[in-house]
Amino acid sequence: SIVSPLLRTGYHFQPPMNWINDPNGPMYYKGWYHLFYQYNPKGAVWGNIVWAHSVSRDLINWIALEAAIKPDIPSDQYGCWSGSATILPDGTPAIVYTGIDRPDINYQVQNIAFPKDKSDPLLREWVKPGYNPIIVPEPGMNVTQFRDPTTAWFADGHWRMLIGGLRDTRGMAYVYRSRDFRHWVRAKHPLHSALTGMWECPDFFPVPKSGQNGLDTSEFGDKVKYVLKSSLDLTRYDYYTIGTYNNKTERYVPDDPNGDYHRLRYDYGNFYASKTFFDPAKRRRVLLGWANESDSVPDDKAKGWAGIHAIPRKIWLDPSGKQLLQWPIEEVEQLRGKPVSVGDKVVKSGEHFEVTGLGSYQADVEVSFEVSSLDKAEPFDPAFSNDAQKLCGIKGADEKGGVGPFGLWVLASANLEEKTAVFFRVFKDGYGKHVVLMCTDPTKSSLSPDLYKPTFAGFVDTDISSGKISLRSLIDRSVVESFGARGKTCILSRVYPSIAIGQNAHLYVFNNGEADIKVSHLTAWEMKKPLMNGA
């Protein structure tokens, strides 16, 4: 098939060409944000992995530099895989990453690198000390599943970092300790583990119990909770729990005893191998994540690129303490053009209206809905309590409901042959409590064949008794990145329209529920293109 260059994203992070995956080693250094990422310099499929490097003043406009870490020592000659940066007390950034040192099996070791010149704010050159590797798997460990070191934290005279692993079918967050950041010893027990399969790209960080500020990874105390995230190889989603950490016993305990299996996610869509960092300039914790293509591999090769990163998100603890909240960093708003607004508009059952006056192929849309009455909410079948995605697969955007489906049709063609629906549907459980489902339904997103078009969904833990709920969608040509109820539930989806591209993309509000809804306010902005790595 023919892939349109108009499907290339405008303001989501990507290099000019080739394959990218995980964000690596994000940090703030001497006024610059640094982002490294898994990159194939030779093509649009995974392989030949190096750490590509970009820098930014605002996490939105990016300048590409030379790759920072490339295979050139025995312990990384077959690949420089994911890892993290830690700023040491004297201000020196250290990168620890996974190296592949054999061609046949993926034998995974951990290496360290330092800037050649600490006075260079762009940190252009990195050197690998001769004492690498710093950590190798011990006999009996699964050497092919031992990778992705975290940012280290310091307490009681010791550094600690996590390495993701697998023991039989148990996902492991191994703890390694060091006094000097050079000699590392594994703690007897993992920080945490669960019967989930391999834990890729673990992330572990403190969050204040209240407020939206972030904390440095080494801060702790009684005003702090902890978050442990793992990327599950088996499902390709990023799951987290919230809990407590004891640096004497070196254990983390999730607050919810079933937390490891309840499976809170950062994002219920296409978002994987994410990593957070503490931004001292704005005292916030920022989440970066990778979204792969859901187009076919031949199309990826024809396009010459594959993979993007989500818009960086600020994350903090919800006042309930039960989940995190996420919101696109405020810097993205500098890309907004002239606002287009709609207010107080009723959308009756079965109706829709178009939002015009902007190029909605590259847009930011914020909308507040108000449901006229919740009486018509459909009964909730508890069989779906743990499977929002399945529920949404059955009750897609075109499936009429009581309260909802209502929401946005984005990247829609003028005649609605193509459209991606982002919507809510409200149910009522056996105790009279409302259950809110948020979905992205891409099943009608494109007339092109051979596309993977999974429906994504998550529940929204919000009180809808007032009838009010908000939605924000960042639309970017082949990306729809949505935030329900001010960041309670997030869904990123990749779509590849064949008609609804460029100026032929339209934006609508729809209501396929019996109950009328009102758009209290809607504001949409066409988004400008930032500097994007020279492309």
Amino acid in position 385? S
Q: Does 441 bind ligand FRU (CB under 6 A)?
A: no
Shortest spacing between CB 280 and ligand FRU, in angstroms = 26
36 or 424: whose CB is closer to ligand FRU? Answer: 36
Query: Quick check: bond before 133 cis, omega within 30?
Result: yes
9 or 82: whose CB is closer to ligand FRU? Answer: 82
Label residue 410 exposed, middle or buried (CB < 10 Å: 0-12, 13-18, 19+): buried
Residue 366 to residue 522: CA distance in whole angstroms: 6
DSSP string, 82-124: EEEEEE-TTS-EEEEEEEE--SSS--EEEEEEEES-TT-TT--
Terminal CA-CA length for the chain? 24
Strand pairing class (352-355; 506-511): antiparallel
Q: Does 201 bind ligand FRU (CB under 6 A)?
A: yes
38 or 270: whose CB is closer to ligand FRU? Answer: 38
Shortest spacing between CB 198 and ligand FRU, in angstroms = 8
Amino acid in position 417? E
Which helix (H) or strand (E) segment is 300 a member of? helix 297-303
Residue 508 to residue 113: CA distance in whole angstroms: 50
Q: Does 238 bind ligand FRU (CB under 6 A)?
A: no
Q: Does 199 bind ligand FRU (CB under 6 A)?
A: no
Amino acid in position 69? I
Nearest residue to 434 via CA among 349, 373, 352: 373
Residues 25-64 that bind ligand FRU (CB under 6 A): 38, 49
Q: Does 218 bind ligand FRU (CB under 6 A)?
A: no
Residues 65-84 that bind ligand FRU (CB under 6 A): 81-82
310 or 438: whose CB is closer to ligand FRU? Answer: 310
Q: Does 200 bind ligand FRU (CB under 6 A)?
A: yes
21 or 132: whose CB is closer to ligand FRU? Answer: 21
Shortest spacing between CB 273 and ligand FRU, in angstroms = 4
Residue 188 to residue 195: CA distance in whole angstroms: 19
- 3-state DSSP assignment of residue 191: coil
Label residue 383 exposed, middle or buried (CB < 10 Å: 0-12, 13-18, 19+): exposed
Catalytic sites, residue numbers? 22
What is the size of the binding site for ligand FRU (CB under 6 A)? 12
Shortest spacing between CB 236 and ligand FRU, in angstroms = 9
Instruction: Identify the residue whose tokens are 């999730």.
Output: 254
Shortest spacing between CB 395 and ligand FRU, in angstroms = 31
191 or 273: whose CB is closer to ligand FRU? Answer: 273
Q: Does 299 bind ligand FRU (CB under 6 A)?
A: no
Q: Does 21 bind ligand FRU (CB under 6 A)?
A: yes
Shortest spacing between CB 331 and ligand FRU, in angstroms = 26
147 or 472: whose CB is closer to ligand FRU? Answer: 147
Shortest spacing between CB 290 and ligand FRU, in angstroms = 7
Q: Does 229 bind ligand FRU (CB under 6 A)?
A: no
Residue 502 to residue 411: CA distance in whole angstroms: 9
Which helix (H) or strand (E) segment is 324 a member of? strand 324-328
DSSP conformation class of 386? T
Nearest residue to 229 via CA among 280, 188, 288: 288
Q: Does 273 bind ligand FRU (CB under 6 A)?
A: yes
165 or 458: whose CB is closer to ligand FRU? Answer: 165
* Whether the Cβ atoms of residue 12 and residue 38 lie closer than 8 Å to each other: no
Residue 53 to residue 64: CA distance in whole angstroms: 6
* Whether the Cβ atoms of residue 285 and residue 276 lie closer than 8 Å to each other: yes
Distance of CA 9 to the CA centre of its chain: 16
Shortest spacing between CB 76 and ligand FRU, in angstroms = 12
* Whether the Cβ atoms of residue 152 and residue 169 lie closer than 8 Å to each other: no
Q: Does 148 bind ligand FRU (CB under 6 A)?
A: yes
Q: Does 98 bind ligand FRU (CB under 6 A)?
A: yes
201 or 227: whose CB is closer to ligand FRU? Answer: 201
Near ligand FRU by CB under 6 A: residue from 7, 13, 15, 22 = 22
Near ligand FRU by CB under 6 A: residue from 34, 147, 275, 303 = 147
* Whether the Cβ atoms of residue 96 and residue 181 lie closer than 8 Å to each other: no
Q: Does 203 bind ligand FRU (CB under 6 A)?
A: no
Q: Interface with ligand FRU by CB under 6 A: which residues?
A: 21-22, 38, 49, 81-82, 98, 147-148, 200-201, 273
